[in-house]
């Protein structure tokens, strides 16, 4: 039985993008089920399979896994050859730490800059807390690539090859583009590498083609 990943609108659901792009890049076969956010059908379907009633949710036979990071960990165990986490123990520990930091943090940036891929790129005013979030992300990306990735000739992503940590930050790449958030040359090359992935392009095209509008995520 094929894995089934239940996700929300591709234009708005940053949490859905994370396991979806990880599975696509890793070549893990799955079926996707898209549910428009904030609809009766969404709530009814998710109440049957998700402990939180939210997306994403992974279904593997009788197994139900919700929360993006938990799904990535499940997939890493289920498909050890997919290389979702680095083989080196120090790199793997660091990758898990920054993935967890993304899962639990950066609330100011999330609030100010909701993921919205069909929005024309344009900068908005950001408060000090959101700017601090951005600075931390840029510092983190630069440090990871210098220690474990591109600067060591290991590939263009945070730990060389694309993995779970990159999947956790893929929606941030989208946010940086949508809100024209300026960054350093090294950050720009990282973002370009993510955007060059066929999986990212596939998601982006589908997001822009969606008919649904979520008013609260439409920042003027």
192-218: per-residue pLDDT in tens?
999 999 999 999 999 999 999 999 999
Residue 109 shares a structural domain with residue 197: yes
Total domain count, the chain: 2
Q: Indicate the residue among 82, 106, 141 that finishes a domain.
A: 82
Assigned domain for 211 exists: no
pTM recorded for the entire structure: 0.95
Assigned domain for 51 exists: yes
Average pLDDT of every residue of the chain: 94
What is the mean pLDDT of the segment spanning 9-25? Answer: 98
Q: Domain span at residue 49? A: 3-82
Assigned domain for 136 exists: yes
Q: Which two tokens stand for residue 209?
A: 């083609």
Assigned domain for 186 exists: yes
Residue from 76, 220, 88 nearest 144 by CA: 88
Assigned domain for 209 exists: no
């Amino acid at each position: 039985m094929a894995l089934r990943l239940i996700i929300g609108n591709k234009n708005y659901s940053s949490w859905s993008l994370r396991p979806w792009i990880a599975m696509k890049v890793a070549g893990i076969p799955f079926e996707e089920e898209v549910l428009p956010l904030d609809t009766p059908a969404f709530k009814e379907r998710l109440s049957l399979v998700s402990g939180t009633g939210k997306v994403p949710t992974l279904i593997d036979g009788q197994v139900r896994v919700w929360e993006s990071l938990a799904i990535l960990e499940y997939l890493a165990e289920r498909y050890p050859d997919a290389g979702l986490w680095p083989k080196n123990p120090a790199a793997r520990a660091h990758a898990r730490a920054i993935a967890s930091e993304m899962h639990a943090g950066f609330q100011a940036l999330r609030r100010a800059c909701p993921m919205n891929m069909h929005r024309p790129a344009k900068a908005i005013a950001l408060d000090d807390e959101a700017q601090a979030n951005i600075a931390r992300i840029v510092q983190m990306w630069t440090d990871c690539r210098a220690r474990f990735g591109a600067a060591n000739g290991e590939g263009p992503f945070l730990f060389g090859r694309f993995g779970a940590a990159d999947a956790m930050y893929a929606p941030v790449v989208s946010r940086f583009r949508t809100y024209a958030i300026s960054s350093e040359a090294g950050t720009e090359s990282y973002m370009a590498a993510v955007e060059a992935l066929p999986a990212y392009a596939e998601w982006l095209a589908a997001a822009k083609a969606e008919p649904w509008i979520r008013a609260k995520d439409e920042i003027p």
